[in-house]
Chain A
Amino acid sequence: MKRFISMFMQDLILANRNGLILVTGILLIAMLALVLFLPKQLKIHNEMILDLSQGTILATYLNNQGVGEDVVFIEEQEFNQKLEKQPNKVGVIFSGDLENPVFAFLINSQIPMENINLLKASLDRAILDLRGESTATIPVRFLRGVMQTPPLNLKIIPIALVFEVVLLGFFFVSVMMFQEKQEATLRAYRVTPGGAWNYILSKNLLFIVLSIAYGLPLLLVGFGLSINYGLILLLVVMTASMMTLISLFIAVFFRNLSEWFFVGVAVLVINSLPSISYGIPSFSPAWMSWIPSYPAVFAVRDVLFNAATWVDVLPTIVLLLVLNGIGFLLAYLAIQRKLLKEG
């Protein structure tokens, strides 16, 4: 334990002298600024609704719900003019009556079907409400999803937690190993009782601590105390740990940063791809979900925005646990058999 603490302190000092803590701090401040100052929503509403029904029941209902005049129309001409100017919006024309509601969708630009369906679902709900029918038959979670898309300023937090700090960790852990190779301090380490185990865990813990130090302020500012911190930090820590282990494993096979560069960056880029799916949910090809950061980022999202519980994200936790196990094994074998045996 004394040995481990000594190594950890040393790695901490080295990380600091290499500018890692400074860079992380700057990144954190930038992200905090985004969380604080980014508007909650870029567009308040993506749809415009024209109510052509008898007595404009839907328009009245929506207005009562607090939906603004720029969304709900009863004049067809005004509706058409406004819609023409804003081709990104979805036009909805309601006709018929409560018993026989008819919705027509006017779509100018590429809008994901998912969004249309969500819109349709929320309109259906409005009709049910108007009829005075129970809404209990509709799954609550689904409605939450429809009604509350996460505010934009908070929506970036899962990206920061799953991708950014991990990127730093991945990069820096390799940099630190290359310095040790170059300075040949690894040779000195090899003639101590240090061993592979301590070497790995010390660096791993460093980046776990870093990911918490980075994630916690973001979460506190963004969500206050209203979220399940144990669960979210567990996900963050496991993601950071997994990538550190992979980074250690890969770096063993290269002599310096320039030899490592293309492979290292390729791994980083692949790992970052799921952030696209996160931003644009309709872009989720099947292979994407095989990248470990994919389930990680969506689990983080569900915990933050959809009140997901331990049980809900258990598959992801198990997956990350298994990946950490594999990552440790790979890193251990590579370091024990190669890094601490050569030259």
Chain B
Amino acid sequence: MLAVKNLSHDYEGKGNYAVRNVSFSIPEGTIFGFLGPSGAGKSTVQNILIGLLPLQQGEVTYTGKSIRDQDAKFFNQLGVSFEHPNVYGRLTGYENLKYFAGLFDVPTLDPLKLLEAVNLTEAAHRKASAYSKGMRQRLVFARSLINNPKMLFLDEPTSGLDPNTAAIIKEIILQKKKDGCTIFLTTHSMATADDLCDTVAFLNEGKMVAMDSPRNLKLAYGERSVRVEYGDNGRVLEQVFFLDKAEDHRLFTDLVQSQRIQTIHTQEATLEQIFMRLTGRGLA
């Protein structure tokens, strides 16, 4: 289990916190989705968890052992897929994987099989500098699996991929979970989080605003929501109201009384909408 307690991070040491007082834990064999708009601090948290950034405040423990006390062997259990695909451009896809496989003390997977799994078989022996961004991203994803890690950290693994390829990656992630892997998944994409995660946490401006299973979040915030289309000075506007919220309830009844309503649909709120309600901003 990975446990994070009261994590804060200040890059420049000027009291300007990129991440503030973040706590959560990820039980073994589950997928934890870390969601938030750009600049929320998602990558910062991931980088602290994998030791790329120093732990300034708070505590991070892996099965009870602080990250401060981990040695080089710790990395044998870790797989990391980076936000910006970082591969050796002068090495082929195959060579990139082969090289990294050689760095671990634990048994590693067959590079060619991994490349096949992410649809890179044909490009396996081409230099990575000739790969498209999406191909490089798949290569980095494949690389994160090379040492059969117990803990997988995936920073935006599907961003910028076409739906088919993204589906392949998601399938692999679910398979890894079945194998008992604990997964920390960072993403903008609420749909991805919804499909994959056991728990999601919303991060906004460095702070956690909600954390629960997607289903519970929807139950809590989405059960009694209605989407309303209404006329406003000749334009048609659309808005979602969460009727359990006093404020929303009041606005909704006002709207009903104004008789400007054109259509009403009850609906299950998406994670995206819930995030908007919680933070007053979108995810983009």
Contact = CB atoms under 8 A, between A and B. Distances in A.
Interface of A: 2-3, 5-7, 9-10, 13-14, 17-18, 179, 183-185, 187-195, 341, 343
B166 interface: no
B73 interface: yes
A179 B101 CA distance: 20
A343 B54 CA distance: 9
Interface in B51-92: 51-54, 72-76, 78, 80, 82, 84, 86-91
Shortest Cβ-Cβ A-B pairs, 6 listed: A6-B102, A184-B86, A192-B103, A193-B72, A17-B90, A10-B99
Contacts of A17: 90-91
Contacts of A13: 90-91, 95
A155 B98 CA distance: 45
Given A14-B90, A193-B103, 12 more contacts: A5-B102, A6-B103, A9-B102, A183-B89, A188-B100, A190-B51, A191-B50, A191-B52, A193-B104, A341-B54, A343-B52, A343-B53
A117 to B, nearest CB: 56
B93 to A, nearest CB: 13
Contact of A184 (B51, B53, B84, B105): B84
Nearest to B74: A193
Contact of A7 (B51, B78, B103): B103
A189 B100 CA distance: 8
Contacts of A188: 80, 82, 86-87, 100, 140, 143
29 contacts: A2-B102, A3-B103, A3-B104, A7-B102, A7-B103, A10-B88, A10-B102, A13-B90, A13-B95, A17-B90, A183-B86, A183-B87, A183-B88, A184-B82, A184-B84, A185-B86, A185-B87, A187-B82, A187-B86, A188-B82, A188-B87, A189-B103, A191-B51, A191-B52, A191-B78, A192-B104, A193-B76, A343-B52, A343-B53
A18 B89 CA distance: 11
A190 B52 contact: yes
B95 A191 contact: no
B145 to A, nearest CB: 13
Contact of B91 (A6, A10, A191): A10
Nearest to B71: A193
A187 B52 contact: yes
Contacts, number: 79
A190 B99 CA distance: 14
A18 B51 contact: no
A142 to B, nearest CB: 54
**For chain A, what secondary structure do more than half of its interface residues adopt (helix, strand, loop), or is it mixed?**
helix
**For chain B, what secondary structure do more than half of its interface residues adopt (helix, strand, loop), or is it mixed?**
loop
A296 B90 CA distance: 35
A47 to B, nearest CB: 57
A13 B103 CA distance: 16
B57 to A, nearest CB: 18
A193 B86 contact: no
Contacts of B52: 187, 190-191, 343
A334 to B, nearest CB: 17
A304 B270 CA distance: 80
B73 A193 contact: yes
Nearest to A195: B72
A150 to B, nearest CB: 42
B80 A191 contact: yes
Contacts of A179: 90
Contact of B88 (A3, A14, A192, A341): A14
Contacts of A9: 99, 102
A14 B91 CA distance: 7
Listed residue (A13, A187, A188, A189) with the most chain B CB atoms within 10 angstroms of its CB: A188
Nearest to A191: B80
Listed residue (A5, A18, A183, A189) with the most chain B CB atoms within 10 angstroms of its CB: A183
Nearest to A8: B102
B68 to A, nearest CB: 14
A194 B86 contact: no
Contacts of B104: 3, 192-193
Contacts of B100: 188, 192
A342 to B, nearest CB: 9
A188 B143 CA distance: 9
Contact of A193 (B54, B75, B87, B95): B75
B58 to A, nearest CB: 19
